[in-house]
Structure 1
Amino acid sequence: MQKFLQNVTAIIGTNFRVGDSATLDEFPGTITIKPESFKNYMWDTLKSLERWGFKDFLFINTHVGNFQSLTNYHQTYREIPEFVVTS
């Protein structure tokens, strides 16, 4: 990882620790976020980072429950001229 980071001219941010876990609701303690709330959370995060000059974003999905939501948002965010979004 250290060698990889030496070649990156970017800030690697934290992951989103919430998401759509509706398929896991049968398990005690599962916390799920509605897709629309997750979308708003991501949008607010992007806009906040944009205010600080960031415009290129890479999303790496590590939770299968978020796959469809991220796929949909990816298309939406790619249509915004100020952003470069990859997943």
Structure 2
Amino acid sequence: MTIVAIVAAVLLASAAVLTGYRVLAGPSTLDRVVGVDSLVGITASGLAVWAAYSNDATVLPGIVALALVGFLGSAAVSRFRVRDDR
């Protein structure tokens, strides 16, 4: 289980670095919003890996809250972005 957790942590860390680059270098606002939304998903995945590795279920409400905040943030930005395009 330790090897799987280490591999997952390395892959999630590399995904976070690449996504962070996209957030910083994104040519448009929508690229940055998608990058931040991806970072929220990567963070939730990292918390899920930690919960599975440590057999600690106390972080699960945090994962749910993080997913909800990420969804609501993306929905709000896309709604206002559509309103600006008209």
Whether TM-score is above 0.5 comes out as no
State the TM-score, normalizing by the size of structure 2. Answer: 0.34
Give the TM-score, by structure 1 length: 0.33
Structure index of larger Rg: 2
More helix as a share of residues: 2
Which structure's relative contact order is higher, taking Cα pairs within 8 Å and 6+ residues apart?
2
